[in-house]
Structure 1
Amino acid sequence: MPTQVVQVQPSTNAFSSFIQFWEDVKAIAGPYWYPTKSGERAFSDVIRAWGMLILLIILIIALVAITTFNTFIYRYLIDVIIQEKDYSKFTYNISIYAVGLVSITLLVGFTKFVRKQIAVDWHQWLNNHILNKYLNNRAYYKINFKADIDNPDQRLSQEIEPITSSALSFSATLLEKILEMITFLIVVWTISQQIAVALLIYTIIGNLIAAYLNQGLIKINQAELESKADYAYALTHIRNHAESIAFFQGEKQELNIIKRRFINLIKDIKQKIDWERSKEIFNRGYRAAIEFITLIVLAPLYIKGEIDFGQVGQAIAACYAFAGALEELIREFGTSGRFSSYVERLSEFSDALEAVTKQPENVSTIKTIEENHLAFENVTLQRPNYEQVIVEDLSLNVQPGEGLLIIGPSGRGKSSLLRAIAGLWNAGTGRLVRPPLKEVLFLPQRPYIILGTLREQLLYPNTNRQMTDAELKDVLQQVNLQNLLSRVEGFDTEVPWENILSLGEQQRLAFARLLVTHPNFTILDEATSALDLTNEGSLYQQLQNTKTTFISVGHRESLFNYHQWVLELAQDSSWQLVSVQDYRLQKAKEIVINTSENPEITIDNSSQDKSQNESEISTTKRLSHKEMNELTYYSVSTIRSKASKGEPITTRDGLTYRYDKDSKVLKWVRV
């Protein structure tokens, strides 16, 4: 019983794999050859594609017909030379034979040209079709959350063209070689039925063996494609993170990773080489056997005088052509393994793109309303997989021209709220009111630097906007990038900007886009994290002058100076919305309460200044440098400097502190 299961299971798997393969082919080829959706393809384009395909079929039929006809001319030519020895007949037959050879040559060239032209047209359409899916409804963003879809860039750039070229090559070769085998089999049948029957049986056996061998190649090709993609991605990853790797001096570790992936690629290549060795041995042996059998059967017939020499030559030529056609057909079946791997991966990718853009059923989503203001109405935001609540029952309304600062612990969903505004995440409940996205400009912490000129960088995403060089220079001046033009040849220069601009310069370049675009709403996700306070202050001041409504995410205390409201997210998904003034007072009170749990009364009896001693009796609150930083506009380094110099500090609420250098105290004490 176990033996029977082992025998039956592969057959079932092979059949189901074959069915799935054809389903994938129909999914990819159907929209091009049999468009069913309205507007999917222009009718004239479909007619042109079918016209080219019909022309290809006619050319193939003509090629096989003339090739077969030439075998008869060759047969008559041999008889004329050896038996009749008639020069005039020889001249006539050789002329016809030459015309046939020229015709075959031209037909071969035109057949390949038409086949490749169809493949190019199909490739162009299929590439645009998949690209539209990739860039539609932000599928390019959502696909990153599917762990089973690897290397989408390689699937787009390297795995579409082989599908169309392989499909046309395989189909054309299949039609041509089957026609050749049928016609040559008929030719041989007219000469020797024994050889014809042997060729037919031999063909069936050979194709069954080739199909069996091809099953292993499909898996080998699939593994090779994946290992090539992984290796290419590792090299791209190093290019994209070159500076980080250089800072960490991680070259050795990166080299080990690349070598590990390259070793996997070499293993797959060697496995394929072993398979191809077996295939070549089979192909050559298969063809040699046909030629050997033909001679064994025909030689006695000629010796007995049952057939003439021309028939022997024609039969040998026909069998030789039959064997060549069969060998090429088997070779195409072998390369079809790679074709099926490409088809499987592209079909999987196309299905995934459609899946990520479909709205999940039976799940709650945040309803989005487009109006000319920004508000959250009882919004509970969850992660896209609905496994975690980020913020619960959030309600707020950002007034026109005001600024809202979102703060909270790391990982508590500050950036997630921005994704909800952008429509990237909508898992949850409630209502989100926002302006149309074309009126909103997003400035992320890591600015997006496009592949283009400096002019395109500044005008992005509206690169069709018309601005003079003088206007663009003025914008660069406003964001303190006036020296950038001295490093490039002009606004129409295209260089690798991410390599020549620091992160701070990239953030200022992103702010320049804001000054060019003048959006009604601006979203900033730690957009000034790489800037010093002077540049940050200058940019936010210009942002306020534009009268735009803006929301910022950040940790810097300096950001409070440019916003009217603070949204604080807590670890338990709760939140609070307060004005900046109230938030500062709230935090100041918390610090005072925390430092007053054990109040002490101290009296300074310094003999050097009695009048000062009498006035300096007070309830002392001892604060650390960090606590002073939260009560003032000073950085921690500045506070340390003032402590070492003995300089007092006045907090935002008007209280004055001095640093007690007593080794038992070493705290800031209120005067």
Structure 2
Amino acid sequence: MNWSEKLSRFRGFLSQVWQLSLPYFQSEEKWRARAMLAAVVVLNLAAVYMLVLLNDWNRVFYDALQNKDQGIFWSQLGRFTYLAMIFIAIAIYRFYLTQLLQVRWRAWMTRQMMGRWLSGHAFYGMELARFTDSDTAPLTATGLPAPGQRVPDNPDQRLQEDVNLFTAQTVGLSMGFLNAVVTLASFVGILWALSGSFSFSLGGESFTIPGFMVWMALLYCGVGSVLTHYIGRPLIGLNFAQQKKEADFRHHLMRVREYSESIALDKGEALENRNLDTRFSAVFVNYLKLIAKQKQLVGFTNLFGQAAMVFPFIVAAPRFFSGAIQLGELMQISNAFDRVQTALSWFVDNYDSLASWRATTERLTSFEAALSRQNQTQTAVENVAPAEGFSGVETRDLTVQLPTGVTLLQSANLKAAPGQHTLLQGPSGSGKSTLFRSLAGIWPWARGKVTMPKDAMFIPQRPYFPDGSLRAALAYPELESQYTDQALQEALRQALLPGLIDRLDDYDNWTQKLSGGEQQRLAIARVFLKNPAWVMADEATSALDVPTEQALYERLRDMTEQAGGALISIAHRPTVTPFHNHFWKMRPDQAN
């Protein structure tokens, strides 16, 4: 890669940082954010100014020691006391405001990304896209990745870890860079004035180099920066890979916990252990590569730092021993050289952090791009108002495909009027559940027009229950405070869950705590609680015994009839057929 390409990539990286950073400072919190940023900048400038004053104090104090002048010695100790106290106060508030800016920025950025991830079914579309080749989905422009685009993995890591790292590293590194630039500007003049000139002869000619110590600092740090870049360059890719592999390992651990009962019943512990070990081995192997490179970088940077401690004394020693400068000036030169060298060595000292920052920025940028694609996507299924005199479920020219391009339903016109309790029939794999997703407007590979009453609820095959109180799980996705205890208890009673009536305030992981049948009845209890006119049930009673299933279906049918709607079901059991008077039949090649 030539320098032009490297410069272009660096500009692209800075553009990514700018695009991720700017929205916060233009948000509804912009004045607070800008004020904190300005305060942090001022405090950094004040800290550098204090270092300049302390550098001058070094000269006077050490000259007093060399001259054994007690009056100046004690006077300078008093001066040092108030300079140190001011410096400590600046350091405390610089730390506090820097951390406050970081955490407020993180909070805003997390809420913004989290809101976008959870709006418009973006989280669902991104999960579908992870397992889909966009070239095989010809039906819609769904926001799925274009060829060559990478679908972000582990959104939980992006929202929790990467946002935190990005805000912390952006604030820390940018303020560190500002501090280095201001320190360099403040001390390079001091070092130039103190270092004197260096004269030498070459080929019979005499040459003089003014500000010799400044040039030596530039040379020393320039060589160090180049060597650091070549030693540490692999860290960027290794940091990116480490974050991904750690997230993959954590994700599979969570899945084992989520499906612990199924794994235990299947006696899948050994296989899961192998799968987890494979993922952890990837973490371990990459980490070994990472620390091997970090070892090389740490070795070089420590050598560089230790040599910098004695380098100015070696260069300035001849002038001191010749009597050209006193001990105070020698110490001032050493201190000024250290400040200039530290400022110039900012790249060396922060290379590992820069590599991590770049990897984090690239991960967040890809996540942001995927969110933008999903948020800008319009579903190909158009929700339309019902025709005059009709108040049921209707599709017009509805075509449904799989991601592979296989057509499940072609230009279908389906109707279910109030009172028409409809059973969706067909063999497994014919697309019944996919049709339900299309009716709900969440399936990307569908087009056509759908009329769906507002007063409708879907009962999925796998109901979701948030961890927490039973009343919160029952009221989901609405707030539990919207329902009285009597309403919640009656819903449980209607769903044939009398054993849970007195447990509304119990906190638990209900997905793990309840059996499959209890989970299905709790999902149906939600429906009784909210009393919708239309209910779309996808295998909602598959884990129940026949008498319980029949009792619940009878109650669901009666509830929807009284509300002026109907029940639309997917079920394979013939025992639910008597509760329906209308049928949609799907075949593997086409639905009618």
TM-score after normalising by structure 1: 0.78
Alignment correspondent of 2:405: 387
Matched, 1:167 2:183: no
Aligned residue runs from structure 1 range 190-589, under 5 A: 190-192=193-195, 193-327=211-345, 329-359=347-377, 365-371=380-386, 372-383=391-402, 385=403, 387-425=405-443, 427-436=445-454, 439-464=455-480, 466-485=482-501, 490-546=503-559, 547=561, 548-575=565-592
Structure with higher Rg: it is 1
1:468–1:296 Cα change, 3 Å: closer
Contact 2:232 2:293 in 1 (8 A): no
1:449–1:322 Cα change, 3 Å: same
Shift in Å at residue 214 of structure 1?
Answer: 4.0
TM-score after normalising by structure 2: 0.89
Shift in Å at residue 574 of structure 1?
Answer: 3.7
Counterparts of 1:467 and 1:78 in 2: how far apart (Å)? 77
CA deviation profile, 1:217-272 (whole Å, cap 9, x unmatched): 11110111111011111211111111111111111111111111111111121112
Contact 1:504 1:530 in 2 (8 A): yes
1:370–1:458 Cα change, 3 Å: farther
Task: Flag structure 1 segments of 5+ consecutive residues without an equivalent.
Answer: 1-8, 36-40, 576-671
Counterparts of 1:426 and 1:164 in 2: how far apart (Å)? 34
Report the residue type matching 1:88 in the other structure: G
1:408–1:474 Cα change, 3 Å: same
Q: Alignment partner for residue 113 of structure 1, among 92, 96, 102?
A: 96
1:379–1:298 Cα change, 3 Å: closer
Counterparts of 2:126 and 2:412 in 1: how far apart (Å)? 28
Q: Alignment partner for residue 135 of structure 1, among 113, 118, 121?
A: 118
Alignment correspondent of 2:35: 51
Report the residue type matching 1:519 in the other structure: P
Contact 2:16 2:361 in 1 (8 A): yes
Contact 1:507 1:527 in 2 (8 A): yes
Counterparts of 1:206 and 1:221 in 2: how far apart (Å)? 22
Contact 2:232 2:294 in 1 (8 A): no
Shift in Å at residue 473 of structure 1?
Answer: 2.5
Report the residue type matching 1:462 in the other structure: E
Report the residue type matching 2:567 in the other structure: F
Contact 1:67 1:100 in 2 (8 A): no
Alignment correspondent of 1:592: none
CA deviation profile, 1:376-425 (whole Å, cap 9, x unmatched): 22322223x47121112322321113210001011111011111111012
Contact 1:366 1:430 in 2 (8 A): yes
**Partner secondary structure for residue 208 of structure 1:** helix
1:426–1:77 Cα change, 3 Å: closer
CA deviation profile, 1:12-36 (whole Å, cap 9, x unmatched): 5533432331232122112112x3x
Q: Alignment partner for residue 21 of structure 2, among 26, 29, 36?
A: 29
Counterparts of 1:305 and 1:263 in 2: how far apart (Å)? 63
Q: Alignment partner for residue 78 of structure 1, among 62, 81, 89?
A: 62
Alignment correspondent of 1:615: none
Report the residue type matching 1:552 in the other structure: S
> How many pairs does the alignment contain?
549
Task: Flag structure 2 segments of 5+ consecutive residues without an equivalent.
Answer: 131-150, 196-210
Counterparts of 1:464 and 1:249 in 2: how far apart (Å)? 38
Contact 1:53 1:118 in 2 (8 A): yes
1:426–1:61 Cα change, 3 Å: closer
Greater mean alpha carbon deviation, residues 144-153 or residues 223-232? 144-153
Q: Percent identity?
A: 27
Report the residue type matching 1:164 in the other structure: T
Counterparts of 1:495 and 1:344 in 2: how far apart (Å)? 38
Alignment correspondent of 1:617: none
Counterparts of 2:591 and 2:491 in 1: how far apart (Å)? 41
User: Greater relative contact order: 1 or 2 (C-alpha under 8 angstroms, separation 6 or more)?
Assistant: 2
CA deviation profile, 1:343-383 (whole Å, cap 9, x unmatched): 111110111122123337xxx93332144421122322223
Shift in Å at residue 431 of structure 1?
Answer: 2.3
Shift in Å at residue 308 of structure 1?
Answer: 1.4
Counterparts of 2:375 and 2:338 in 1: how far apart (Å)? 55
Contact 1:188 1:315 in 2 (8 A): yes
Counterparts of 2:422 and 2:4 in 1: how far apart (Å)? 62
Q: Alignment partner for residue 146 of structure 1, among 98, 107, 129?
A: 129
Query: Cα RMSD over matched residues?
Result: 2.0
Contact 1:287 1:327 in 2 (8 A): no
Alignment correspondent of 1:88: 71
Shift in Å at residue 510 of structure 1?
Answer: 0.9
Contact 2:395 2:414 in 1 (8 A): yes
Counterparts of 1:468 and 1:289 in 2: how far apart (Å)? 73
1:10–1:484 Cα change, 3 Å: farther
Contact 2:474 2:525 in 1 (8 A): yes
Contact 1:221 1:337 in 2 (8 A): yes
Report the residue type matching 2:475 in the other structure: L
